Structure formats: structure tokens, C-alpha cells
Structure 1
Amino acid sequence: MAVYGYARVSSLSQSTDVQEQKLKEAGCSVIRMEKVSGASVDGRDELRNLLDFITEGDTLVVYKLDRLGRSTRDVLNIVHELDQKGAFLRVLDRSIDTSKPEGRLILTVLSMVSEMELSFIKERQRAGIDKAKAEGKYKGRPTSIDTDKLIELKEQGLGATHIARELGCTRSAVYKALDRLNA
């Protein structure tokens, strides 16, 4: 019966140090960490590796529920997958343990709250962007394309695909940059 830890942060500038320390204190023999959004389980390779590796009697431990996922469906699917293997989930900050019935109830409610919190964050972000646009302060993400090189390649008669390859970007980025230049 092994105890595995999973730590996650959303951005490269964040640190998993606190989570890692708490997971070590909880007796995790293996701790997997990644820097990726929790909005979906897609692209979370370390979590997938743990879920594939866990066997009957093992426990997956996370410091906080939102580190496991922001989607109620994803969290419940992970718990279901653990159930199918005869394994459990433990959430340290709320003392949730799916090996107990009350742990399952609390987990379901808190995962719903986590998902709701994510939707509030997105709403606030959208409102802030809309306000900044209305005030003329929001210009979007700055272009990372070398405009002079783009113009030079376009004047040579090259298409968007070739230009994108040359500049190391996507075709859509080339089209957007050309639209800005033509505006």
C-alpha cells in the first residue's frame, strides 16, 4: 500500500515547494509535480502517470483539492478511476479521505466549489479586459513577430505557411500580424 503525492501549479513562475513539503510530511513515497493548468486533465502527464501506476490499496495524496483539478467532472472521474483500482484519494488541507463515506461527500461538494471559483475568476478576468478595452488601455498580447522580417518575406511573395516556418510561429499569427499592418 504505497502513498503517492501529486503537486501542481498553473504557471511557470509559481512554485510547488510548499505542496512538496506537505506531501513529504504526509509520507508520500513518490511525488510527481507539474506546472500546467488544472482546468482539464488533458496534458497533465505526471497525473496520468500516477493514475496509470496506482494499484489496489494505494493512496493518491494532494495538498489541496484544486491542485487535483478545477472541474468537478474531472475530479470525480479521477476518484472513480481510483475506485476502480481499489485505491483512494486523500486531500491534506481539508482532511478528506475517500476511503470513508463522509470523505466522498465533502469531496463532491468542494470540487463543485472549486469549479465555481474558476468560473468566477474567468468572469472577473473577462470584465477587467472589457473595461480596459473600453478605456483604450488593453491592446492584447504584444506581438512576438519580427515585423520587418515579416514585411520582407511578404514582399518576396512568400505565403503565410512559409513565413510562419521562417519566423517560428503559427500561420494564424502571421495573418493577425498582416491584418494589424494593413489596418
Structure 2
Amino acid sequence: MANIGYIRVSTTEQTPALQADALSAAGVTKLYSDLGVSGSLASRPQLDAMLENVRDGDVVVVWKLDRLGRNTRHTLTLLALLADRGVGFRSLTEGLDSTGSMGRAMITVVRAFAELERGTIRERTVAGLAAARARGRVGGRPRALSPAKIEFAKSLRLKGLGAQAIAAELGVSRASVYRAFAD
């Protein structure tokens, strides 16, 4: 069993010293550091390397929970991945420790609230789309050609103009012209 640390700082101007000192004091024996890497990036080289190398019984230690994932969903996905592989997790600032029963319970509660949030957002989105459809609104990008312009495009086609020339005349892409003819 090893305490494995992960550090991330977003810009090269930031220093990882605070995180490194805290992790060292917490007994971390191996350290992975992404320096100057935004948390919004899905792929972070050192995080990916750490995830490849952790083994059953290891404990991943971070200074703060937001150093691990890009957002709540990503963080929870990583926590679930670690748990499934038998890897513990500790966040020093928040005091989360999945190696104990209370820490596992707290992470379960956090995951449950995140799932509730996702479900609520999904329900609101579906209800909003249904209400918009009931009012006659359709989602998506507006069509490039109005019905009048489609008729004009068809008349140009009957005169022998090609799709590229019609598109140039109407100020739209050739794909928009083909789409109009297909309808």
C-alpha cells in the first residue's frame, strides 16, 4: 500500500510548493504533478499516468478536491474509478478519506447529490423542450433559407444554374442548397 499524491496548478506562474509540502507531511511516497495544465482538460498527462499506475490498496492523496477533476461529474467519475479498483482517496483540505467508513459514506452522499443534480437538470431540460414544442418552437439552429429563398433557389435550378452558383447568389453554403432541394 502506497500513498500516492497528485498535484495540479493551472498556470506556470503558480507554484506547486504549498500542495507538495502538504502532501509530503501527509506521508505521500510518490508524487504526480501536472504543472501549467488547466483542470478543464480531460487529458492531463500526469493524472493519466497516476491512474495507470495505482494498484489495489494504494491511496490517492490530493491537497484539495478541485485539484483532481475538471468538474463535479468528472471528479465523481474518477472517485468511482478509484473505488472500483480498490484504491482509497484522501483530500486533505476537505478532510475526505475513503479509507474509513465515514469517508466512504461522505463520498457516497456526495455522489448521490451529484446524481440527483444530473437527474433534476435532465428533467428540467426535457420539460422545457416539451413546453417549447407545445408553443410551436423547434430546437436547433434556424434554417439558412426561408421558404421564399428556397423557391427562388428552385427557380434558379430550373434555369440551369448549379448548386455552387445558387449558393453564391443566396449567400449560403452549397450544403444548404442541397438540403433545401432535398426537402
TM bucket by the smaller chain? 0.5 to 0.7
Please list every run of at least 4 consecutive aligned residues from structure 1 whose deviation after the TM superposition is greater than 3 angstroms: 105-112
For 1:29 and 1:49, how far apart are their aligned partners in 2?
A: 16
Number of the residue aligned with 1:63: 63
Number of the residue aligned with 1:39: 40
Report the secondary structure of 2:57's partner residue.
Answer: coil
Contact 2:58 2:87 in 1 (8 A): yes
> What is the CA RMSD across the aligned residues, in angstroms?
2.1
Number of the residue aligned with 2:51: 51
Count of residues paired in the alignment = 111
For 1:16 and 1:110, how far apart are their aligned partners in 2?
A: 31
Counterpart mapping for 1:15-26 below 5 A? 15-26=15-26
Number of the residue aligned with 1:86: 86
Shift of the 53–104 alpha-carbon distance from structure 1 to 2, 3 Å rule, reads same
For 1:96 and 1:84, how far apart are their aligned partners in 2?
A: 17
Q: Deviations over 1:16-65 (max 9, x none)?
A: 000000000000001111121112332x1101111110011100000001
Give the unaligned 5+ runs of structure 1: 113-183
For 1:25 and 1:109, how far apart are their aligned partners in 2?
A: 31
Number of the residue aligned with 1:98: 98
Shift of the 109–80 alpha-carbon distance from structure 1 to 2, 3 Å rule, reads closer
For 1:28 and 1:111, how far apart are their aligned partners in 2?
A: 29
Deviation at 1:80, TM superposition (A): 1.3
Report the secondary structure of 1:89's partner residue.
Answer: strand
Contact 1:40 1:69 in 2 (8 A): no
What is the one-letter code of the residue matched to 2:38? S
Contact 1:5 1:32 in 2 (8 A): yes
Deviation at 1:107, TM superposition (A): 4.8
Structure 2-normalised TM-score?
Answer: 0.56
Structure of higher CA gyration radius: 2
For 1:110 and 1:19, how far apart are their aligned partners in 2?
A: 28
Shift of the 107–68 alpha-carbon distance from structure 1 to 2, 3 Å rule, reads farther
Give the unaligned 5+ runs of structure 2: 116-183
